[in-house]
Structure 1
């Protein structure tokens, strides 16, 4: 089953890059990358040393509800191109493992779907989850800090 890794949509990212408030109503913090582990969730590439980036609270769900986790993410401070949706593992997924967790059509965690998965088997695990009838999409999150990385949908 083909899958697509999906970056954050461009419209809300541009609003943040232009000074709009984050999920908590605060202005994103501006930092300068040291080039070590600063993954942009829009282009799905690491932010190079010396480049500006934003730190902000992000909620990858359409509305507030008990399972709508909000957490910190990074974005390029300057506009970047959104990553194409395809089945290739995004550049930012360079840790040895990640949390891979399924959500239903109501944007609720599907219990029993989550686990810490070796990076090289994320696609295989996602295809297994999509074989179930109750998984609408999958999140990839940091295994160490639970930070949102990207979404995976059926192609």
Structure 2
């Protein structure tokens, strides 16, 4: 998630449904922040909100629940290492999107955590695909966007 989007939510900007983000206390399990891509520590305040990771609403622009650190956190650094948010489940849903932010049919699949990078690179090799989203295979929550390096 871009830092300016995270800061807007952290300062009280309404979510994708027009609601002020809910404030909760993390239990330390299963609450990955979509900005720093780390689990929100137990006892830390967090935001729960509806997020649409697309530039505009259209039929393929999925909206779903996410967690975000309530206080400003540093954005995940672009590295070749898999972020912590992708280590919390055995499987993930990944799918490719075109430059007009539409799902590229045939690119979606549920993959084991260990295969995400390899499969995402395979999807990105399709010239119709501009980026890949990783989502929870269990709850369909948006986790992060993967782009070609």
TMscore range, shorter length: over 0.9
2:133 is aligned, of 99, 115, 139, to 139
After superposing on structure 2, the runs of 4+ consecutive aligned residues of structure 1 that deviate more than 4 Å are none
1:42 is aligned, of 35, 38, 46, to 35
The answer to whether the aligner puts 1:102 opposite 2:87 as a matched pair is no
Gaps of 5+ in 1: 1-7
Q: Which has the higher relative contact order, 1 or 2, with Cα contacts under 8 A spaced 6 or more apart?
A: 1
The answer to whether the aligner puts 1:86 opposite 2:79 as a matched pair is yes
1:53 is aligned, of 27, 46, 49, to 46
- For 1:126, the equivalent position in structure 2 comes to 120
1:93: how far off?
A: 1.1
Aligned pairs (5 A) from 1:1-16: 8-16=1-9
- For 2:59, the equivalent position in structure 1 comes to 66
Deviations 1:17-72 (A, max 9, x none): 01111011100000000101110000000000000000000000000110000000
Counterpart CA distance in 2 for 1:66 and 1:35 is 34
Aligned residues between the structures = 148
Give the alignment's Cα RMSD to 1 decimal.
0.7
SS in 2 for 1:154: coil
Counterpart CA distance in 2 for 1:69 and 1:23 is 10
1:86: how far off?
A: 2.1
Gaps of 5+ in 2: none
SS in 2 for 1:120: helix
Q: TM-score if structure 1 supplies the norm length?
A: 0.94
